[in-house]
Amino acid sequence: MDLENIKYFKGKKPTRRKFLRGALLAGGSVAASSVAATHALASSGADPAIVDKQPWDTRFGAGVDAAPYGLPSPYEVAVQRRNVPWLTADTVSSINFTPLHQLDGIITPNGLCFERHHSGVAEIDPAKYRLMINGLVERELVFTLEDLMRFPRENHVYFLECVANSGMEWNGAQMNGVQFTHGMIHNVMYTGVPLRLILEEAGIKTNASWLLVEGADAAGMTRSLPMEKALDDCLVAFKMNGEALRAEQGYPVRLVVPGWEGNMWIKWLRRIEVGDRPWHHREETSRYTDLMADGRARRFTWELDAKSVITNPSPQAPLTHGRGQTVLNGVAWSGRGTIARVDVSLDGGINWHTARLSGPSLDKSMHRFYFEFDWDGSDLLLQSRAIDSTGYVQPTKDALRAIRGKNSVYHNNGIQTWLVNPDGGVENVEVS
């Protein structure tokens, strides 16, 4: 039903599988064909991938319009969002995960952005879309989609992280894959109208200090949003990465709340009520509050602390090339600004090296980092540590547990450790 119990595995375990083998098979063509090529080269001296004619260099390929909306190469079929069946009672109130280990750069393709629904995907006819603003305003207004697109609009790249991301790892290393430990995140360029302009259109009254933002899905998702944030950088967005929002991301209109927990980014946004105090609805009381070890709970923990993870190698993306030149690759983000620096460790945090950031460094956006090194084939304990523009340094999981205990479910931004074995297989571990 929800993510509250994600630190506990309950129920039947899947059958044991050799994870490295599974990952190699899933990686499919790349690993298998490089092995084959090496073998063929050894026996004949020439690479058949070069000396043999291939279908694609002798015959016509598909013409234009074969796929009016293009899809990835069929060889990329293993690149998919995946869920964890034992985690939730029902897929309509569940989550799946972005395949971080199969992506690069900073932008998440629309079809791979993780999904989190509370009553399934609302399929809204844009002609019937309405946004209402009511409450403490001078004019209670209704907008159509066309109305919204007549406001001045802006483009911004922001990460959206579900605050339960890594929630399964509070009690120790649980999930053997970066998709499952860190995949409740995506990073997208939004086009939308500053929420401030819509509030100004309605005219907020002087005693207005909070908003209730509400979705049109069958969960009627609601959150209370402080006015200060609403007037700062929130967007009422209708495009992601240039095209209309995907239905599962809130088509036709979603709220964008940069740097703050994903649950507040109301999808299928249909109503904004202006008020003078918070509503204390279910998703900000019973859920999305952080239980401390003493039984008390933090509320209104909106901002996402700086976090990073190495996406490659990782358990779903083992090292298949053996010793020698190796690329370590990962992502970092902060709800409080940009990422100033990422350090990586190959020895479980004894020594650190500053990684190379590449690509745009944008406020409250994912950043991409790389670290290239010569692997000698011995065990590695890989870690990454983000430092953001406020000087915040990503802590260890143990440092977080010392303050919060193990039952806070949300806001686990602790340092992740991957054990790389000499055979190139990778495991999710924790270290002292």
> Under rule CB under 8 A, which residues in 353-392 are in contact with other proteins?
381, 385, 387, 390-392
* Largest pairwise CA distance in the chain: 82
Distance CA 309, CA 329 (A): 9
Q: Name the one range near other proteins by CB under 8 A: 68-76, 259-267, 285-293, 360-368.
A: 285-293
Residue type at 426? V
Residues 86 to 105 in contact with other proteins, rule: CB under 8 A? 86-89
Residue 276: CB partners within 8 Å, gap ≥ 6? 136, 207, 208, 209, 210
Q: Which of 62, 65, 74, 139 binds other proteins (CB under 8 A)?
A: 139
**CB-based contact 19:176 (threshold 8 Å):** yes
Q: What are φ and ψ of residue 373, in 5° steps? A: -155, 165
Residue 32 binding other proteins, by CB under 8 A: no
Peptide bond connecting 85 to the previous residue in cis, omega within 30 degrees of 0? no
Nearest to 100 by CA among 24, 170, 159, 31: 159
Distance CA 82, CA 109 (A): 15
3-class DSSP state of 142:
strand
Q: Which of 299, 321, 323, 356 binds other proteins (CB under 8 A)?
A: 299
User: In the bound complex, what is the minimum distance in angstroms from residue 416's beta carbon to other proteins?
Assistant: 11
Comparing CB distances to other proteins, the nearer of 29 and 407 is: 407
Find tokens 């602390």 and name the residue.
305
Find tokens 């495009």 and name the residue.
239
CA dihedral for 196, 197, 199, 200, sign (positive or negative): positive
Q: Which two tokens stand for residue 171?
A: 């009690």
User: In the bound complex, what is the minimum distance in angstroms from residue 244's beta carbon to other proteins?
Assistant: 20
User: In the bound complex, what is the minimum distance in angstroms from residue 54's beta carbon to other proteins?
Assistant: 27
Q: Which of 61, 66, 277, 374 binds other proteins (CB under 8 A)?
A: 277
User: In the bound complex, what is the minimum distance in angstroms from residue 382's beta carbon to other proteins?
Assistant: 12
Binding map of other proteins across residues 36-65, x = CB under 8 A, - = no contact? ------------------------------
Q: Which of 37, 78, 189, 357 binds other proteins (CB under 8 A)?
A: 78
Residue 2 binding other proteins, by CB under 8 A: yes
User: In the bound complex, what is the minimum distance in angstroms from residue 431's beta carbon to other proteins?
Assistant: 5
Residue type at 174? Q
Number of residues that bind other proteins (CB under 8 A): 116
User: In the bound complex, what is the minimum distance in angstroms from residue 263's beta carbon to other proteins?
Assistant: 14
Side-chain half-sphere CA neighbours of 50 within 13 A: 8
User: In the bound complex, what is the minimum distance in angstroms from residue 321's beta carbon to other proteins?
Assistant: 20
3-class DSSP state of 374:
strand
User: In the bound complex, what is the minimum distance in angstroms from residue 25's beta carbon to other proteins?
Assistant: 6
Q: Which two tokens stand for residue 308?
A: 């990073």
Q: Which of 115, 233, 248, 273 binds other proteins (CB under 8 A)?
A: 273
Residues 192 to 251 in contact with other proteins, rule: CB under 8 A? 197, 200-203, 212, 214, 218-220, 222
Q: Which of 63, 125, 295, 325 binds other proteins (CB under 8 A)?
A: 295
Q: Name the one range near other proteins by CB under 8 A: 183-191, 226-234, 326-334, 347-355.
A: 347-355
Distance CA 291, CA 401 (A): 12
Element (H, E) at 161: strand 154-161
Q: Name the one range near other proteins by CB under 8 A: 50-58, 104-112, 134-142, 243-251.
A: 134-142
- The H-assigned helical ranges of 108-267 are 145-148, 178-182, 195-202, 227-232
Nearest to 254 by CA among 329, 190, 346: 190
Residues 150 to 189 in contact with other proteins, rule: CB under 8 A? 150-151, 172-177, 179-180
Q: Name the one range near other proteins by CB under 8 A: 32-40, 59-67, 295-303, 359-367.
A: 295-303
Q: Which two tokens stand for residue 66?
A: 């074969």
**CB-based contact 355:371 (threshold 8 Å):** yes
Q: Which of 83, 209, 358, 361 binds other proteins (CB under 8 A)?
A: 83
Find tokens 């949003």 and name the residue.
225
Residue 4 binding other proteins, by CB under 8 A: yes
What residues does 108 pair with on adjacent strands? none
Residue 418 exposed, middle or buried by CB count within 10 Å (0-12, 13-18, 19+):
buried
Residue 35 binding other proteins, by CB under 8 A: no
Q: Name the one range near other proteins by CB under 8 A: 144-152, 228-236, 257-265, 355-363.
A: 144-152
Comparing CB distances to other proteins, the nearer of 83 and 358 is: 83
Q: Name the one range near other proteins by CB under 8 A: 39-47, 237-245, 363-371, 402-410.
A: 402-410
Q: Which of 39, 128, 280, 356 binds other proteins (CB under 8 A)?
A: 280
